[in-house]
Amino acid sequence: MNLFVTRLAATAVTLASLTVASFAAECIAPANPGGGWDFTCRQVGKSMQDLKLVDGTVQVTNMAGGGGGVAFAEVVNKRNDDGELIIAASSATSTRLAQGAFPGNTMDQVRWVASVGADYGIIAVAKDSPITTLPELMDMIKADPKSVSIAGGSAVGGWDHLKVLIAAKKAGIDDVRTIKYVAFDGGGEAVTQLLGGAVQAFTGDASEAKGFVDSGDIKVLAVLAPERLEGDFASFPTAKEQGIDAVGANWRGFYAPGGISDADYDKWVKAVGAVYDSEEWKATMAANGIAPLDLRGTEFEAFVKANIDEIAAISKEIGLIK
């Protein structure tokens, strides 16, 4: 998990970033307009345009299907040497790669460019719950797994489910199959069930829970970040502070085609890095609840590999994959 440790954003554009020459660019968002991948392509693309890192605008191509699998296959099979192309990715990408949801495709078929931030997970309870800390919740599960149901907005084996399992493993629960996870269609519905008393806890991302935190409806037991978040979540402790060294980062970033030249790869690493270092991107992060996660080039590749390995191990344990 130490590869999930974030670095604070740099206060100025690095010298390496200043040397980026402008170039034509396209970003594939592996989903329809309006989602997280589309947001990542369009916002980073706008910043690249404003910083004059690209010629003209960044063309955004929406390529939905297979939870990102259609875009991944398109890049690997048809655009493997396209040096003007990057593709938006996230924890959903590493989850699907780990679980074999992209048939015949693996992470080493592409080149991992850089991250541009993360949305960290939380574990929460209703405001009137007697549970006040994450260790208390985990102790209840250890004593009687059937007594605690945890709701999330992803399917079984999806990212909300996996975050709870990561925390449970770090809390000393050896058999994470005992965790009662209840899947709902989105975080809002999951919180509604929590407030109605149908479940005892909720797992989701900090950004989607913000409205319920602001209204006082839920009580955050832990943020699954390496250190406390800034702003509205600064008062909430991390799991690590409570002796449970669990980090669940829904990272956002990019990969590029696997067959591009080292020069094109370095160009993309520097360009995305220049965006991350800019004041414009800091403002975008603050406005959209994105927390710092600054990993570039080989460091980002190692991070993604560790993420995939951890998800694969847990997915095997709960019987999702063999």
**Mean pLDDT of the region 111-130:** 95
Mention every residue, 6+ apart, whose C-beta is less than 8 A from residue 144: none
Question: Among 245, 224, 221, which residue's Cα sits nearest to residue 170?
Answer: 245
User: Taking the domains of the chain in order of start, what are their residue ranges?
Assistant: 2-118+249-317, 120-242
Mean pLDDT of the chain, nearest integer: 89
> What CATH fold (topology level) applies to the domain 2-118+249-317?
D-Maltodextrin-Binding Protein; domain 2 (3.40.190)
Q: What is the pLDDT of residues 268-320, one digit of tens each?
A: 999 999 999 999 999 888 877 788 899 999 999 999 999 999 899 989 988 88
What phi and psi values does residue 181 have, to the nearest 5 degrees?
-105, 130
* The listed CATH number (1.20.200.10, 3.10.20.600, 3.50.50.60, 3.40.190.10) that belongs to domain 120-242: 3.40.190.10
Q: Do domains 2-118+249-317 and 120-242 have the same CATH topology?
A: yes
DSSP single-letter state for residue 147:
G
Scanning the structure block, which residue is given the tokens 């929406």? 62
C-alpha 62/C-alpha 27 separation (Å) is 9
Nearest to 155 by CA among 209, 89, 101, 74: 101
CB 240 within 8 A of CB 234: no
Please determine, for residue 9, whether its predicted confidence score (pLDDT) is greater than 50: no
- pTM surpassing 0.85? no
Say whether 208 sits in a helix, a strand or coil. Answer: helix
Tokens of residue 206, six digits:
């900090």
Compute the distance between CA of residue 176 and CA of residue 30 in angstroms, rounded to an integer.
31
| pLDDT per position as a tens digit, 131-157 | 999 999 999 999 999 999 999 988 888
Query: From the CA atom positions of the chain, what is the Rg in Å?
Result: 20
pLDDT of residue 8: 31
Q: Are the CB atoms for 81 and 114 separated by under 8 Å?
A: no
What letter does residue 54 receive in the DSSP assignment? B
DSSP conformation letters of 252-270: EEEEEETTS-HHHHHHHHH
